[in-house]
Structure 1
Amino acid sequence: MKNLAFICCLFVGAFACGGGGASDPYGSDASAPDGSDMDSGPTTDAGPSDASAPDGSDMDSGPTTDAGGESCACAASTDLVYVLGDDGELWTYDPTTHDFALVTASLGCAGGSLFSMAIGRDGIAYLMFINGDIQAIDVNDPTSCVDPGYATGQPGFGLFGMGFASNSALDPCDKLYAHTWNGIGGFSQGPDAGRLGRMDADELVLTEIGLIDYNGGELTGTGDGRLFAFAGAPAQIIEYDKDTAEVIATDSLAMNLTNAFAFAFYGGDFILFTESDGDPSYSNVTRFDHDGDGSLTTVVTQAPIRVVGAAVSTCAPLVAAP
């Protein structure tokens, strides 16, 4: 099984992404992006090359080494929110201006419909496909995929939403977390309906943390060690204890999950992508002010794409720019 050091040798200045969804809530039907017939397309500048906010201001996401001295610095542009479209397009979304920018019209992956994605601080993007396979890309060069060596089905996890979270406020090094979905019908909730897992970043070994009450959901994490899910009926933001899978806090939202949905943490807010009420072939963008007044505001009524996956690394700012 290949480790991350091998992957990073393939990617110079690597970065990564996380989120999920398509025509079923994660993108499991034929309308989701199919890597077998993607065409390459133009690229645009994904954003600044250092860990600054999209408006250019300095937004420090915290220390760059853990307590043991391991370097966990942020790769270029890993403070950006990345989103996937139905046709396998990779875009960035700027929460400060609400602008979308095309990175590439083709991810260069051959794995069928996309299911979820997650971005690490090192810039490696992990993409899960509907067959349960995971491929890795560099978002600076997203037209080339490699097999990182993930063995599917461990430990009885099939499909899962995923996201990175730092170890703690003092240890920025991150791990990949998994939120199961059994693939039957839509999303649901109930006692012990799902499982939370954690991926070893060196060997891509997935272990179960514990049972959770949500069958299907997406994950996003923060640079100070928090882990959140976007799940439930009606939709909720759930904060989990990363070590026990216990619920720390729950915020109920006046909205529902749709067939395609995704989210990302940015500057104290959650950016929520759901299908547009008027035309489900596009997405709405909603801002949930988590660390402020708790308001829920629609900021984009029709994105240029239907967002089937979204992610940002733990290099994203923890608070809004002044």
Structure 2
Amino acid sequence: MHFLHRSLQFVVPAVLVLSACTVTPHGTFSSESGAEVGESSGGQGGSAGAGGMGSGNAGMGGEGGDLFGEGGFMGAGGGSGGDGCVDEARLVYIIGQDNELYSFNPPTLEVKLIGVIDCPTGGLGTPFSMAVDRRGTAWILFSDGRIYHVDVKTAACAATTFTPGQQGFTTFGMGFVSNAKGSAEETLYVADYNGKGLAQIDPKTFELSFVGPWDQLSGAAELTGTGDARIFGFFNYSPIIIAEIDKLSGKILSQAPQPTVTIGSGWAFAVWGGDFWLFTSPTGDSQIQQYRPSTGKTTVVKTGLGTNIVGAGVSTCAPIETPK
């Protein structure tokens, strides 16, 4: 997720646009109904139909299609016991515009402050987006294109050897994805903020390689990945789009419009337990929305976080189905 501090530069292809990092003063992308609290229909689009802090708010929702086809959101596998994952890697993590690192536990909606990160930026750059690996390390991209490693237990920060600007990618949405269903090997995927498309970063060499351009959508997108080797994008389009992406080509496999979601001044998302968790700031104070592909409904589940969330990350250790 990203902080909207610059104007979004993307081409609106008559129908859709990807959301990735930063944008201009939010409120630009509002829902058709203007609703800020409540549920929306996942709708039907493209190739498929389709929250501690603060107080929880739930609204009434509409009908929606199945974003990922019949049989539910994901199959079994990935991120379960005996997988070598540390406990910390099973939660969602979010980063605020002012460097605050939080954990988020979807079943309880608890948002817990871990600490304020102090990365050796030399006073340059602010948090822009985030991903989390299976070791419980957050990879936080700053607005100057540099990536830092942050311990999700202590908020301690260290610089990496990642070189900004590779393949023309400076700022981007990001998320780790298992290389194969249930595999402990993973790759960091990134979505260029200016709409170039999808790329991947080797976690060992920090080398970025281009995967492919978007086909049906364009512009900026936030990314989140799973333990069963799937990747999804939160596209800053009108309306907002959640889409599954082919990690080998960048092509859009399916999509679910989110007509009542308003990004505002910051945005991010993560997939956990078969549902998507959207962090948006339509009024400048972040809230959490839950999108359930199984019902096609999007609901505001927590408001009043007291900060502007600009990044979210979840590792491939997270459950891909709702825990029993």
Q: Does 1:273 align with 2:262?
A: no
Question: Is contact 1:172–1:225 with CA below 8 Å preserved after alignment?
Answer: no
Equivalent residue in structure 2 for 1:148, among 160, 175, 181: 160
Report the residue type matching 2:290 in the other structure: R
1:262 matched residue in structure 2: 268
Q: Does 1:295 align with 2:306?
A: no
Q: Does 1:217 align with 2:221?
A: yes
2:49 matched residue in structure 1: none
- Displacement of 1:181 in angstroms is 1.1
State the distance in 2 between where 1:134 and 1:104 align: 18
1:120 matched residue in structure 2: 133
1:5 matched residue in structure 2: none
2:244 matched residue in structure 1: 239
- Displacement of 1:284 in angstroms is 1.6
1:136 matched residue in structure 2: 149
* Closer, same or farther: CA 27–214 of 1 in aligned 2, 3 Å: closer
Report the residue type matching 1:228 in the other structure: F
* Closer, same or farther: CA 63–300 of 1 in aligned 2, 3 Å: closer
- Displacement of 1:112 in angstroms is 2.4
- Displacement of 1:239 in angstroms is 0.6
State the distance in 1 between where 2:137 and 2:111 align: 21
Report the residue type matching 1:318 in the other structure: I
Report the residue type matching 1:87 in the other structure: D
Report the residue type matching 1:175 in the other structure: T
2:21 matched residue in structure 1: 26
State the distance in 1 between where 2:145 and 2:184 align: 28
* Closer, same or farther: CA 60–242 of 1 in aligned 2, 3 Å: closer
- Kindly provide the CA deviation profile for residues 264-300 of structure 1, in whole angstroms up to 9, marking residues without a partner as x: 1010000001114xxx23112110002x111111101
- Displacement of 1:194 in angstroms is 2.8
- Displacement of 1:226 in angstroms is 0.5
**For this pair of structures, how many residues does the alignment match?**
255
Higher relative contact order (Cα pairs below 8 Å, separated by 6+ residues): 2
State the distance in 2 between where 1:201 and 1:113 align: 22
| SS in structure 1 at match of 2:263 | coil
- Displacement of 1:91 in angstroms is 0.8
- Kindly provide the CA deviation profile for residues 208-245 of structure 1, in whole angstroms up to 9, marking residues without a partner as x: 00001321111000010010000122111111111111
Q: Does 1:104 align with 2:118?
A: no
State the distance in 1 between where 2:82 and 2:228 align: 12
Question: Is contact 2:273–2:321 with CA below 8 Å preserved after alignment?
Answer: yes
- Displacement of 1:159 in angstroms is 1.0
Report the residue type matching 1:202 in the other structure: K
Q: RMSD over aligned Cα, in angstroms?
A: 2.4
1:52 matched residue in structure 2: none
1:11 matched residue in structure 2: none
Unpaired segments of 5 or more residues in structure 2?
A: 7-19, 25-51, 53-76
Question: Is contact 2:100–2:116 with CA below 8 Å preserved after alignment?
Answer: yes
Unpaired segments of 5 or more residues in structure 1?
A: 1-18, 30-43, 45-58, 66-72, 183-192
- 1:3-14 alignment, distance < 5 Å: none
Question: Is contact 1:22–1:114 with CA below 8 Å preserved after alignment?
Answer: no
* Closer, same or farther: CA 119–20 of 1 in aligned 2, 3 Å: farther
* Closer, same or farther: CA 106–124 of 1 in aligned 2, 3 Å: closer
* Closer, same or farther: CA 224–99 of 1 in aligned 2, 3 Å: same
- TM-score, structure 2 length as denominator? 0.73
1:33 matched residue in structure 2: none
- Displacement of 1:100 in angstroms is 1.2
Q: Does 1:85 align with 2:80?
A: no
Question: Is contact 1:62–1:224 with CA below 8 Å preserved after alignment?
Answer: no
